[in-house]
């Protein structure tokens, strides 16, 4: 027979030191800080399991229009052909387009207003559907439109001009000729432009060893032109809105953990299908409702921040589990041999929980910038 009080003390010490209280808070404490840190940076994360999935992410699929690009056309090039200033060409183009409700026309007018050009009044305005527009400014006959319209109106388009038009078009731009009284004045090109921060986001994803795919309903040529500017080499173009979710499924079937980033109504099924749906804050309500992560600042660089934050959070969880276990695994054998005072055991347990809390709160120091 041994010493009963001593055995009782050892028994109590074992009970105390084996309490898994710190274990219970190891995961939620880190997730709470991680989700809070995201919210601080305008990244709304719906629940901790999204962070757990984001850590394993291997492919990010981006919708093009409105996500990587601004989603509305703007003037990208003004090419003078008759040694007249660019402003003059833009002013004439804006004048004939002033009454137009066409998005391309609106882009031209917006560009002219942006440069504070005064837009002259146009008379005898006439739209030629699918080809262009014409009008008169102080008896000068202004024509704006495509090659076919200009040829029909008797304009000469020389090979050098033809070459410029082709180059602009192969860059995915819509090129329009501007003419005045039978003389070609210049070319105005309009295109949906990429968001300035998108390129940086793609490069940062590359550094994180994540594959990037661009998904769009646009034609292959336009899509590739945009992808080239962004440094994306995998493009899936001419996808019908209803097929976007299927594309996500196909990629998942190859064993990839997929995040889908989108803004539109037509992205919602794909956002729901992806392992992680990331919605742009300025996007459609249905996209935001479906997304597991919402980027409030509309900045696609936050996709990278989300991934980095999830990795940092998961690392914290692992560290927390270590801190939660280490006191127990060292303490239990010592206590079993009756070598651990129950008071010290209790202190060790308090310390264990404290370590987990302190370690989790260190995540507050996570840097939200991509660089």
- Of the residues 63, 192, 218, 275, which is catalytic? 63
Question: 20 vs 30, 205, 332, 339, CA distance in Å?
Answer: 17, 38, 12, 20
> Of 145, 264, 277, 281, which lies in the binding site for Mg ion, with binding defined by CB under 5 A?
264
Min dist CB 199 to Mg ion, Å, is: 18
Comparing CB distances to Mg ion, the nearer of 225 and 265 is: 265
> Of 38, 48, 66, 291, which lies in the binding site for Mg ion, with binding defined by CB under 5 A?
66
Q: What's the sign of the alpha-carbon dihedral 297, 300, 301, 306?
A: positive
Min dist CB 65 to Mg ion, Å, is: 4
Comparing CB distances to Mg ion, the nearer of 65 and 328 is: 65
- Considering only residues 188 to 247 of the shown chain, the ones binding Mg ion according to CB under 5 A are none
Looking at the DSSP bridge assignments, the partners of residue 259 are 60, 276
The contact pattern for Mg ion, residues 292-331, with x = CB under 5 A and - = no contact, is: ----------------------------------------
Range in contact with Mg ion (rule: CB under 5 A) among 6-14, 55-63, 141-149, 350-358:
55-63
Comparing CB distances to Mg ion, the nearer of 53 and 70 is: 70
Q: What is the DSSP string of 144-200?
A: EE-HHHHHHTT----HHHHHHHHHHHHTT-EEEEEEETTEEEEEEEEEEEEPTTHHH
Range in contact with Mg ion (rule: CB under 5 A) among 98-106, 155-163, 263-271, 284-292:
263-271
Comparing CB distances to Mg ion, the nearer of 161 and 290 is: 290
Comparing CB distances to Mg ion, the nearer of 87 and 243 is: 243
Token representation of residue 307: 């991934």
Token representation of residue 120: 């002259």
Q: Are 201 and 303 in contact (CB under 8 A)?
A: yes
Token representation of residue 368: 């939200």
Look up 63 and say whether it is catalytic.
Answer: yes
Q: Are 327 and 314 in contact (CB under 8 A)?
A: no
Q: Is 63 in the site for Mg ion (CB under 5 A)?
A: yes
Catalytic site positions: 63
**Interface residues toward Mg ion, by CB under 5 A:** 63, 65-66, 263-264
């Amino acid at each position: 027979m041994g010493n009963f009080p001593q055995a009782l003390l050892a028994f109590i010490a074992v009970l105390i030191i084996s309490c898994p209280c710190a274990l219970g808070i190891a995961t939620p404490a880190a997730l709470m800080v991680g989700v809070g840190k995201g919210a601080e940076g305008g990244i709304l994360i719906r629940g901790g399991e999204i962070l757990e999935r984001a850590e394993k992410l291997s492919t990010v699929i981006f919708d093009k229009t409105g996500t990587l690009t601004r989603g509305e056309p703007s003037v990208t090039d003004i090419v003078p052909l008759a040694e007249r200033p660019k402003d003059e060409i833009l002013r004439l183009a804006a004048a004939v387009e002033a009454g137009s409700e066409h998005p391309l026309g609106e882009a031209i007018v917006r560009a002219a207003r942006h440069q504070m050009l005064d837009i002259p009044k146009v008379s005898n305005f006439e739209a030629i559907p699918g080809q262009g527009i014409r009008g008169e400014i102080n008896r000068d006959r202004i024509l704006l439109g495509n090659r076919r319209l200009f040829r029909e109106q008797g304009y000469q388009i020389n090979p050098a001009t033809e070459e410029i038009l082709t180059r602009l078009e192969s860059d995915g731009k819509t090129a329009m000729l501007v003419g005045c009284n039978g003389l070609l004045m210049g070319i105005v090109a309009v295109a949906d432009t990429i968001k300035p921060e998108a390129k940086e986001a793609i490069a940062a994803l590359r550094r994180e060893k994540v594959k990037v795919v661009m998904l769009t309903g646009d034609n292959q040529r336009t899509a590739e032109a945009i992808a080239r500017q962004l440094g994306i080499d995998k493009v899936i173009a001419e996808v019908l809105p209803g097929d976007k979710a299927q594309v996500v499924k196909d990629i998942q079937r190859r064993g990839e953990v997929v995040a889908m980033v989108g803004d539109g109504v037509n992205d919602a099924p794909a956002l729901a299908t992806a392992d992680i749906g990331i919605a742009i804050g300025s996007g459609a309500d249905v996209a935001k409702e479906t997304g597991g992560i919402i980027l409030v600042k509309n900045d696609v660089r936050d996709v990278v921040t989300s991934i980095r934050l999830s990795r940092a959070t998961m690392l914290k969880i692992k560290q927390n589990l270590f801190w939660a276990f280490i006191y127990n695994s060292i303490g239990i054998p010592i206590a079993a041999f009756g070598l651990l005072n129950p008071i010290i055991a209790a202190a060790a347990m308090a310390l264990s929980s404290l370590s987990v809390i302190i370690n989790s709160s260190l995540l507050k120091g996570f840097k939200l910038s991509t660089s």
